[in-house]
Structure 1
């Protein structure tokens, strides 16, 4: 009888051990997949991922300024493809990101930006394999599609309105966005001071003046500038920037991208340099 009870105890212990091994799970962001392995989802949500480059069919293309992706914890993604904004379903499971159909705005874009948007939209869909390198605010995310095409993105902290050198990257007229005149890229920039000052370059001449920030508006006072004559594209850019930096404008910041819009619908887009640069 004692021997029988001993065998029953051993059998019960073995059964409990097998049951525990077959149902192992980890709480938190990881979960078991039923095969005995533990899956840990990558921490992709809550991060502003700037698109650095896109490689399709072996050809690498640098992303337009402002292109970015944000993935939330509720199964959605949003961002900018280079000119137009988008929203889409996005589910993160382990190292796999599954992106559903997207909805985009319909702003007219420059031809090269439009080509990038179309390629980006095709690549950022379906099942993608994600790999993250680095840590903190200095991380690189690589998304690889089934055919081998890749999107490389980098994490960046947001930029403050004041104290940041905002480089003008595009012009807006109503609902139409356009790139800068050829030969005038990287020429215009502005910096707003906490003391209500503004200074920078119009594309050719340097300038300074006053700028009062109130709510979502910036009111520019008369600007004083140098009076150099420069090549045509730079002067064309200068006239366009001056048309925006007059009187009361509406501004908006999306992470490291600034938009300024004057009362007549003319505006500009600007971006902050990468953190640490």
Structure 2
């Protein structure tokens, strides 16, 4: 083969490899459930109660499979799974055991049942469908790892009173924690595109040292319950409430 022929062959081979790489499934990110269909019918979850599915490592074929985690709308679950271009097989899923409202528990059971039995996969950048054949989970509103990496951090409330401003810490597993300036709190959150919802937050019961700090704590927790969307810009985080008002946070400088 002459030099020109060799270069042409290499170019063709490179194009084929590139096309193969593009075709390879890459569903990594956090997905929000848009629709569930099973023997009981079809349900469309709303708001912060919508289950989520977080996948990491779906591009690579490894013995351990991809990391799988998420929220049922009440409890957290984790496990592993093997993904191909059109199939999925999940291993056993470990879940927390928090008590849920009856309607949330019913959705949780249906969601986990279809998820654990799913074998078919259909994927596009904006839609992920897992199916057992007749049963289907349709996910959308994906938050990519890059987008999530900008959000997962510890944030400090801007414009707070007192020497210890309220904080907010968001973690990849869906856990949220922080301080009100007086007390500690913790809970969970769900993501979907630019949407963000917090679960009811559990707090410690320490008395605030002043009425001003007590008012700040009450208002801070009240506003977190009403968060619906978020925006990250540089070192700043803006939480957008259901009424359109905003709460602004910044990352601590040098971790301080």
The reply on whether 1:71 has 2:62 as its aligned counterpart is no
SS in 1 for 2:119: strand
Counterpart for residue 262 of structure 1 = 203
Report how many residues are paired.
175
**2:77 and 2:23 mapped to 1: Cα distance?**
28
* TM-score normalised by L of structure 2: 0.53
Higher Rg of the two aligned structures: 1
More strand by proportion, 1 or 2? 1
| Contact 1:81/1:120, CA 8 A, preserved across alignment | yes
Counterpart for residue 86 of structure 1 = 77
Please state how far the C-alpha of 1:53 moved relative to its aligned partner: 2.5
The reply on whether 1:194 has 2:158 as its aligned counterpart is yes
Please state how far the C-alpha of 1:58 moved relative to its aligned partner: 7.0
SS in 2 for 1:141: strand
Q: Deviations over 1:18-75 (max 9, x none)?
A: xxxxx999557947xxxxxxx9332101x11122221223722133625211111152
Counterpart for residue 36 of structure 1 = none
Q: Which runs of 5+ in 1 are unaligned?
A: 1-22, 32-38, 162-191, 198-209, 221-246
**2:77 and 2:100 mapped to 1: Cα distance?**
14
Counterpart for residue 153 of structure 1 = 140
More helix by proportion, 1 or 2? 2
Q: Deviations over 1:186-219 (max 9, x none)?
A: xxxxxx952227xxxxxxxxxxxx9533875322
The reply on whether 1:51 has 2:33 as its aligned counterpart is yes
Does the C-alpha gap of structure 1 residues 193 and 219 become closer, same or farther in structure 2, counting only changes over 3 Å? closer
Q: Deviations over 1:213-262 (max 9, x none)?
A: 38753225xxxxxxxxxxxxxxxxxxxxxxxxxx3123466553446331
Please state how far the C-alpha of 1:116 moved relative to its aligned partner: 0.6
The reply on whether 1:140 has 2:127 as its aligned counterpart is yes
**1:95 and 1:251 mapped to 2: Cα distance?**
38
The reply on whether 1:61 has 2:56 as its aligned counterpart is no
Higher relative contact order (CA 8 A, sep 6+): 2
Does the C-alpha gap of structure 1 residues 195 and 100 become closer, same or farther in structure 2, counting only changes over 3 Å? same
Counterpart for residue 42 of structure 1 = 25
| Contact 1:141/1:152, CA 8 A, preserved across alignment | yes
Alignment partner of 1:121 out of 77, 99, 112: 112
| Contact 1:76/1:91, CA 8 A, preserved across alignment | no
Q: Which runs of 5+ in 2 are unaligned?
A: 1-12, 58-64, 170-176, 207-220, 232-239, 241-256
The reply on whether 1:212 has 2:174 as its aligned counterpart is no
